[in-house]
Amino acid sequence: MTEISTGQMVRLQRERRGMSTTALATQAGCTPRHIELIEHGKRTPSLPLLREIAKVLGVRTAVLLGETPRDSHEPSRPQISDIERALFTCRSSAPDIEPPDADQLSERVAAARNSWFTSTRRYSILMAALPSLVSDAESLATERTPRSCSVAADAYILARGVLKHLRRVDLAHLAADRAMRFAEESEDPLMLAWAYWSLGQSMLSDDMHQIAYEVARRGIELIEPHVADGDQRHVKALGALHLLAATGEARSGDDDRARDRVRGPAAQLAERVRDSADVYDLAFFGPTNVAIHMAGIENDVGRPEEVLRIADDIDLRHTPSIERRATHLGHVARACEDLGDDAASLLHLLRIERECPEELDHKLLLREMVRSLARRARPSWAPEVRHLAERHGILN
């Protein structure tokens, strides 16, 4: 499937609606020249601006970022089709097939999650692993025991995160819904809290920011009574839900309340836990992730100077999650570009490549940044950005 750049998609959607660049710019809150630069691939739109453009054009932000069409089975990417098949045909499995053992499937889910967070080949590994994990989770859940439903929910929470990054928001919604259903049957408040977190993350990826906040608030109300008698797992789940709520608040326009939540309850909970991953934690909640979220909020509300100020004090070696490190480096690269420091933006994109080369194969906003940098590169660093683009087929 031919990749359509964000700029090309903005132009396509604008022309479909018969809008001029001036009309789009006026309603989105920028200049016509800025829209022209975006459409010609010479400027990468910030996420806040991209959301405003999407709102004016009446589409989801994910559409402008090149999310796979919802009716596409992507014949060029058979592993995606395998995941689709597992999700939609799981109920047609032969009823006499013995379901997998819960402990064994739990270990497989844990191993897959470890690869997703720590392997430089995390996309390739999870695209291959997800079909059988999904099918076996559905088979196991037919037992309808709390343990089997808990393991099935855990598998779908993992699937949701992977599918979101593969730009299949539609499938991520489906996985989040199934995770919630099985978590409710597990009768485990901790698993249900993580299912709320997963569902809220799915809402964020589809521009439903207020709903994401409301989902996070319900999750907070559910898990909060269990924290006093629980352990670090409960503290981390509550903290992750507060970070989700803060992101929802920031993207809904209440950035002051979002900052207060991160600096208040989230930071206070982070003081009670460690950054290490030796405690079951789907979000790597801890002091470093709280700081990463604060930078992310400033990125969401378009304050690049604050992103860089916060980033100066973040030591990414303290989080074992490649996903968290790559996300933060993407925010910093974006902030540098917004401030006109293209060389620094390239430096952080190269750091992302060192952390996980596949990020630049799958994250369209990162690819758009590389494409934009290549078009305006100065002679002193033009070869580096060109070689980066060539390594990932970005200029093809």
Q: Which residue has the higher pLDDT, 204 or 46?
A: 204
Phi and psi at residue 129, to the nearest 5°: -85, -30
The helix/strand/coil state of 271 is coil
Owner of token pair 């902030």: 335
Note whether 37 and 6 are within 8 A (CB): no
Phi-psi region of 302 (alpha: psi -120 to 50; beta: other; left: phi over 0): left
Residue 55 is predicted with a pLDDT of: 87
Average pLDDT of the residues in 264-281: 83
What mean pLDDT comes out for the span 262-285?
A: 85
* 128 phi/psi in degrees, rounded to 5: -80, -30
Residue 394 has pLDDT above 60, yes or no: yes
pLDDT digits (tens, 9 = 90+) for 135-157: 999 999 999 999 999 999 999 99
Minimum mean pLDDT among 12-21, 118-127, 162-171, 277-286: which range?
277-286
Give residue for tokens 């903290």. Answer: 239
**How high is the pLDDT of residue 59?**
86
User: What string of DSSP letters covers 128-164?
Assistant: HHHHHHHHHHHHHHTT--HHHHHHHHHHHHHHHHHHH
Average pLDDT over residues 214-218: 98
- The model's pLDDT over 344-371, given as tens digits with 9 standing for 90+, comes to 999 999 999 999 999 999 888 899 899 8
Per-residue pLDDT at 96: 56
User: What pLDDT, on the 0 to 100 scale, is given for residue 346?
Assistant: 96
Q: How far apart are CA 375 and CA 394, in angstroms?
A: 12
CB 220 within 8 A of CB 241: yes
pTM, two decimals, is 0.86
Angle (CA) 75-80-82 rounded to 5° is: 95
Q: Which of 248, 201, 241, 246 is nearest to 222 (CA)?
A: 241
**pLDDT tens sequence across 94-144:** 455 677 899 999 999 999 999 999 999 999 999 999 999 999 999 999 999
Mean pLDDT, to the nearest integer, of 288-305?
94
The chain-wide mean pLDDT, for the chain, equals 89
Tally of CA atoms within 13 A in the half-sphere of 295 that contains its CB: 29
Q: What is the pLDDT of residue 3?
A: 65
Q: For domain 1-66, is the CATH number 1.10.260.40?
A: yes
Top-confidence range, 77-81, 278-282, 392-396: 392-396
- Binned at pLDDT 50, 70 and 90, residue 37 comes out as confident
**DSSP class of 43:** S
Q: Which of 3-7, 158-162, 321-325 has the lowest mean pLDDT?
A: 3-7
For helices 6-16 and 21-28, give the axis angle rounded to 10 degrees.
110
- Indicate the DSSP class of residue 273: S
Domain boundaries, the chain: 1-66, 71-187
